Amino acid sequence: MSTLVERDANLVWHPFTQVELSDPPLPVVSARGSTLVLEDGTELIDGISSWWCNTHGHGHPELCRAASQQMQKLDHVIFAGFTHEPAVALAEELLRVLPHRYDKVFFTDNGSSAVEVALKMAVQFRHNRGERRTKIIALDDSYHGDTFGAMAAGARGLFSAPFEELLFQVERLSTEGSQNDLDRCHALCAAGDVAAFIFEPLVQGAGGMKVYPAKVLDGYMEVCKAHGVLCIADEVMTGFGRTGPLFSSSALRYAPDLICLSKGLTGGTLPLAVTACRDEIFDAFRSKDHTRTFFHGHTYTANPIACAVAQASLGLTTSEACAERRAAIERQHAEFVLRLNALESVRNPRVAGTILAFDVRDGGTAGYTSDVARQAARFFTKRGVLMRPLGNVVYCMPPYCVLDRELVLVYGALEEFCWALR
CA 129 centroid distance within chain? 31
CA distance 57 to 34: 5
CA distance 119 to 150: 8
- Asked if residue 366 and residue 294 are part of one domain, the reply reads no
Q: How many CB atoms lie within 10 A of CB 237?
A: 27
CA distance 51 to 45: 13
| Radius of gyration over every alpha carbon of the chain, rounded to an integer in angstroms | 22
CA 341 centroid distance within chain? 27
The pTM assigned to this predicted structure is 0.96
Find the CATH number of the domain harbouring 96.
3.40.640.10
| Residues of the domain holding 309 | 61-317
Asked if residue 27 lies in contact with residue 3, where contact means CB atoms within 8 angstroms, the answer is: yes
- Asked if residue 350 and residue 329 are part of one domain, the reply reads yes
CA 119 centroid distance within chain? 16
pLDDT value of position 362: 67
- Asked if residue 358 and residue 307 are part of one domain, the reply reads no
- Asked if residue 328 and residue 307 are part of one domain, the reply reads no
- Asked if residue 302 and residue 177 are part of one domain, the reply reads yes
Residues 6+ apart with CB under 8 A from 10: none
Find the DSSP H helices in 98-192: 111-128, 148-153, 179-190
* pLDDT tens digits in sequence order for the chain, 422 residues long: 789 999 999 999 999 998 998 889 999 999 999 999 999 999 999 999 999 999 999 999 999 999 999 999 999 999 999 999 999 999 999 999 999 999 999 999 999 999 999 999 999 999 999 999 999 999 999 999 999 999 999 999 988 999 999 999 999 999 999 999 999 999 999 999 999 999 999 999 999 999 999 999 999 999 999 999 999 999 999 999 999 999 999 999 999 999 999 999 999 999 999 999 999 999 999 999 999 999 999 999 999 999 999 999 999 999 999 999 999 999 999 999 999 999 999 999 999 999 999 999 865 556 677 778 888 888 999 999 999 999 899 999 999 999 999 999 999 999 999 998 86
Number of domains in the chain: 2
- Asked if residue 412 and residue 284 are part of one domain, the reply reads no
DSSP conformation class of 244: S
pLDDT value of position 372: 80
Q: Which of 297, 317, 337 is the last residue of a domain?
A: 317
- Asked if residue 205 and residue 302 are part of one domain, the reply reads yes
CA distance 54 to 238: 13
Closest CA to 367 of 261, 208, 133: 208
Q: What does 87-112 look like in DSSP terms, one character per residue?
A: HHHHHHHHHHHSSS---EEEEESSHH
CA distance 287 to 295: 13
- Asked if residue 108 and residue 98 are part of one domain, the reply reads yes
Asked if residue 337 lies in contact with residue 356, where contact means CB atoms within 8 angstroms, the answer is: yes
CA atoms within 13 A on the CB side of 339: 14
Find the CATH number of the domain harbouring 53.
3.90.1150.10
- Asked if residue 333 and residue 307 are part of one domain, the reply reads no
Q: Which of 262, 288, 317 is the last residue of a domain?
A: 317
Asked if residue 129 lies in contact with residue 286, where contact means CB atoms within 8 angstroms, the answer is: no
Q: What does 30-41 look like in DSSP terms, one character per residue?
A: EEEBTEEEETTS
- Asked if residue 281 and residue 356 are part of one domain, the reply reads no
- Asked if residue 157 and residue 181 are part of one domain, the reply reads yes
CA distance 330 to 407: 11
Strands 203-204 and 393-396: unpaired
pLDDT value of position 422: 67
Question: For the chain, what's the residue count?
Answer: 422
Q: Which of 262, 293, 317 is the last residue of a domain?
A: 317
- Asked if residue 330 and residue 233 are part of one domain, the reply reads no
